[in-house]
């Protein structure tokens, strides 16, 4: 009986000893974990790059689809932003309209606007998708910044059901001015970049701040990164429209557009 107890005790000690790690084994495990962590850190930038590109391309496809649906309803593509020579649209040496791709009324054309007091000089537009700040837009402001004095996708409140409507998340657009005292004009933003009214939503592809190599596309709101759009004289898609995004990555400007690159 005594011998049996002695063997049982020894077996218990042996099993307990095998369940523990030696110092060498712990060091090996720590080294492996360090190697894996280093691999993950090295792969993170590439993964983030792919995620950004995927996000931009997804937004691009959604906007393309909406623009084509707009065309099917109205027979024309949404107007772009023109450069004015006084009150007259400016033309180049070939007679083509000069366009500002970064300042365009695409946001308003795709969401729709209500015309208030349409037969009065004090009339204005109310964007259906605008939920920030005063909503009245004057024709004079539209002409000054977009080169247009109105919208195609507009109607009175009584007929608003006839408007073409695309729903955007609030952070999908931003004001072209970051300071108060200016018209509350908005443009579609790449990567859902925030603006001055929603500083915590700057998770999109905002434009780099204070970098002389990359001048801000919209000086009134330097970190706003707008979708570029041309429908008057598109160079890459004749007869249709050019739609593209630009963003800065690793000190280089990247471009993703609706044409083969």
d(Cα 84, Cα 94) in Å, to the nearest integer? Answer: 16
**Domain annotation covers residue 23:** no
From the number of C-beta atoms within 10 Å of its C-beta (0-12, 13-18, 19+), residue 136 rates as: middle
Least confident of 17-21, 62-66, 155-159: 17-21
**Domain annotation covers residue 50:** no
pLDDT confidence tier of residue 199, bands split at 50, 70 and 90: very low
**Domain annotation covers residue 170:** yes
How far apart, in Å, are the Cα atoms of 116 and each of 45, 79, 110, 154, 248?
Answer: 49, 21, 19, 10, 40
Q: To which residue do tokens 């054309």 refer?
A: 109
**Domain annotation covers residue 35:** no
Q: Mind listing the pLDDT tens digit for each residue in 52-75?
A: 788 899 999 999 999 999 999 999
The pTM is what?
0.78
Residue-number span of the structural domain to which 127 is assigned: 60-257
**Domain annotation covers residue 91:** yes
Q: Which run of H or E residues covers position 188?
A: strand 186-188
Instruction: Indicate the number of domains in the chain.
Output: 1
**Domain annotation covers residue 183:** yes
Measured at the CA of 132, the angle between CA 173 and CA 211, to 5 degrees, comes to 45
pLDDT (0 to 100) of residue 202:
44
* Whether the Cβ atoms of residue 203 and residue 192 lie closer than 8 Å to each other: yes
Least confident of 5-14, 101-110, 183-192: 5-14
Q: To which residue do tokens 């000893």 refer?
A: 17
Assess whether pLDDT exceeds 80 at residue 105: yes
**Domain annotation covers residue 210:** yes
**Domain annotation covers residue 153:** yes
3-state secondary structure (DSSP) of residue 52? helix
Assess whether pLDDT exceeds 90 at residue 217: yes
Which has the higher per-residue pLDDT, 129 or 151?
151
Outline where the chain has alpha helix (H). 2-18, 23-74, 106-111, 139-146
């Amino acid at each position: 009986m005594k011998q049996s107890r002695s063997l049982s005790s020894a077996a218990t000690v042996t099993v307990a000893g095998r369940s523990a790690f030696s110092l060498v084994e712990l060091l090996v495990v720590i080294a492996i974990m360090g190697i894996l962590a280093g691999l993950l850190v090295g792969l993170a930038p590439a993964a983030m790059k792919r995620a950004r590109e995927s996000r931009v391309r997804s937004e691009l496809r959604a906007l393309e689809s909406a623009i084509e649906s707009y065309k099917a309803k109205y027979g024309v593509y949404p107007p772009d932003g023109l450069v004015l020579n006084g009150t007259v649209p400016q033309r180049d040496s070939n007679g083509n309209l000069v366009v500002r791709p970064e300042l365009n009324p695409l946001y308003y054309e795709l969401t729709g606007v209500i015309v208030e007091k349409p037969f009065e000089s004090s009339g204005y537009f109310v964007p259906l998708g605008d939920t920030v700040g005063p909503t009245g837009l004057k024709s004079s402001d539209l002409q000054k910044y977009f080169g247009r004095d109105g919208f195609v996708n507009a109607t009175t409140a009584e007929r608003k059901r006839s408007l073409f409507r695309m729903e955007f998340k609030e952070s999908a657009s931003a004001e072209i001015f970051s300071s108060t005292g200016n018209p509350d004009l908005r443009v579609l933003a790449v990567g859902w970049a925030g603006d001055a009214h929603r500083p915590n939503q700057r998770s999109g592809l905002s434009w780099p701040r204070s970098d002389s190599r990359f001048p801000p596309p919209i000086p009134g709101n330097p970190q706003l990164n707008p979708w570029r759009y041309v429908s008057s004289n598109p160079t890459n898609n004749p007869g249709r429209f050019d739609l593209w995004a630009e963003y800065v990555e690793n000190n280089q400007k990247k471009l993703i557009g609706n044409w083969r690159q």
